[in-house]
Amino acid sequence: MHFWKAIDEIGFGIVPAVFSTESIHLLLGELDAAPVERSRAGVRHAMAFEPVAAFARHPQMLELAGGVLGSDAFPFRATLFDKSPDSNWLVVWHQDTALPLRDKCAADGWGPWSVKAGIPYAHAPSTVLQEVLALRISLDDSTSDNGPLRVLPGTHTHGVLTDDAIHELSVRIEPIDCLAARGSVVAMRPLLVHAWSKSKTESPRRILHIEYAASPSITEPLRLATA
């Protein structure tokens, strides 16, 4: 299936060999040397790190995002997920519905609110989340044994779901493992129901997850924060 059609119809797509092995190794070295605050799962708010921001602004990344969101698409948030034998976890079926915002103010359909590392976050309505796309750069080979991204195809069309509705879909829809070699990019809609299992191997599985939006003024009066 063509990439753009896949994003529209099933909510995700995979583009192989976007980045070379050499460029991935260089980024990993810069991340290891940087004084960034790490949690057990990786690095939150990584757009503040210039090498990550440079990857997010790479012409092919902007082209992929722009083909879905329009020519004004821009990166606003990046997260490094770092799964290893010493840091191994699972994530149950869910949707990504919380967005970082410059200020907290009342807006229809938004909430509940929270604060992460000083940045206000709110869960967004489905109309806003349709203007967001995640591009996940594989920094290692993603295999069936090292806890790959798993998705329920087509669930991005159901809007924001309750936990019970997500469970019902997870029982009814056959999941797909998004297996991608190092340097590949997995694109996904935030409303696509997805999960991760624990890794069964000693090899690391690191992912640079970058989110793009069609516009900074995602909905008036709210504006996205860079995180």
Domains recognised in the chain with CATH numbers: 3-213 (2.60.120.620)
pLDDT reading at 37 higher than 90: no
% of the chain surpassing 90 pLDDT: 74
pLDDT reading at 212 higher than 90: yes
CA 128 from chain centre, in angstroms, equals 16
State the average pLDDT over residues 56-71.
96
pLDDT band at 26 (very low <50, low <70, confident <90, very high): very high
State the average pLDDT over residues 163-191.
97
State the average pLDDT over residues 78-86.
78
DSSP state of 97: -
The confidence score (pLDDT) of residue 84 equals 62
The whole-model pTM stands at 0.95
Ordered DSSP codes for 135-194: EEEESS---TTS--EEE-TTGGGG-S--HHHHHHHHHHS--EE----TT-EEEE-TTS-E
Neighbours of 93 (CB within 10 A): 19
Neighbours of 85 (CB within 10 A): 10
